[in-house]
Amino acid sequence: MRKSRLLLMVFMSMILAFTLPGIGQNMKASAATARTPIVFVHGLTGSDSNFLAIERYLRGEGWSREELFAIDLPSKAGNQLLNSAAISRFVDDVLRQTGHSKVHIVAHSMGGANSLYYILNRGGADKVDKLITLGGANRLTTSRAPSGVTVTSIYSTSDTIVSPVLSRLDGANNISVNLVTHIGLLFNSRVNALIKAALIE
């Protein structure tokens, strides 16, 4: 009797492990979400958890968990080919889950360059409505905002890791802030407000 009860408990634990969403995961939407879904793309040595503070802020501003998705890129060194392919697959999955035809991307650091590579070289221009970069190393991919995508580049004059020169793009809405570090762009209330404004404009 004790053995069968133990087996039942193990079986139920396995079911819960596969059916309940964990940290950094989203439950699949059963219908189209109210807002355009947002995909967060991290930079070098980063992870999907880098955007927890921004996600928390946006949830407080009315976005639901089912509208926020963060990718964990396969190349922590920023390999454009590997990461853009991963972004492509991830975006397609988000579109299937949410019922939308386009996403917004919020990218930090090298995530900006990887997202631009996806947009320019892997069909992302038809699937991305807005791209918002935070201290993006954008000019490692291109010097001009892609046609058909609204690009906002937010960068800091105090950034000692990615120069503002790398972040600014011709044709983008380039926004400079000061007294914010490169990593601080992920945790700053002024930057959060700028992200929200870029998403809803």
Within a 10 A sphere around the Cβ of 78, how many other Cβ atoms?
21
Q: Identify whether the C-beta of residue 158 lies closer than 8 Å to the C-beta of residue 182.
A: no
Domain assignment of residue 8, yes or no:
no
pTM: 0.85
pLDDT for 31: 55
**Cα gap 164→95, rounded to integer Å:** 32
Domain assignment of residue 85, yes or no:
yes
Which entry of 42, 104, 108, 182 is annotated as an active-site residue?
182
Within a 10 A sphere around the Cβ of 143, how many other Cβ atoms?
10
Domain assignment of residue 13, yes or no:
no
> CATH number of the domain that 175 lies in?
3.40.50.1820
In 3D space, the residue among 179, 151, 156 whose CA is nearest the CA of residue 166 turns out to be 156
| For range 147-151, the mean pLDDT | 98
Domain that residue 190 falls in: 33-200
Which entry of 84, 109, 115, 153 is annotated as an active-site residue?
109
* Residue 182 annotated as catalytic: yes
Domain assignment of residue 188, yes or no:
yes
Domain assignment of residue 195, yes or no:
yes
Domain assignment of residue 9, yes or no:
no
Instruction: Please state the domain count of the chain.
Output: 1
* Residue 129 annotated as catalytic: no
With bands split at pLDDT 50, 70 and 90, how would you rate the model's confidence at 33? confident
pLDDT for 10: 37
Domain assignment of residue 27, yes or no:
no
Distance of CA 1 to the CA centre of its chain: 49
**Cα gap 101→91, rounded to integer Å:** 10
pLDDT for 150: 98
Indicate if the pLDDT at residue 4 is higher than 90. no
* Residue 42 annotated as catalytic: no
Domain assignment of residue 162, yes or no:
yes
SS3 of the chain: CHHHHHHHHHHHHHHHHHHCCCCCCCCCCCCCCCCCCEEEECCCCCCHHHHHHHHHHHHHCCCCHHHEEEECCCCCCCCHHHHHHHHHHHHHHHHHHHCCCCEEEEEECHHHHHHHHHHHHCCHHHCEEEEEEECCCHHHCCCECCCCCEEEEEEECCCCCCCHHHHCCECCEEEEECCCCCHHHHCCHHHHHHHHHHHHC
Instruction: Quick: pLDDT tens for 80-97.
Output: 999 999 999 999 999 999
Which entry of 115, 156, 159, 167 is annotated as an active-site residue?
159
Instruction: Quick: pLDDT tens for 122-136.
Output: 999 999 999 999 999
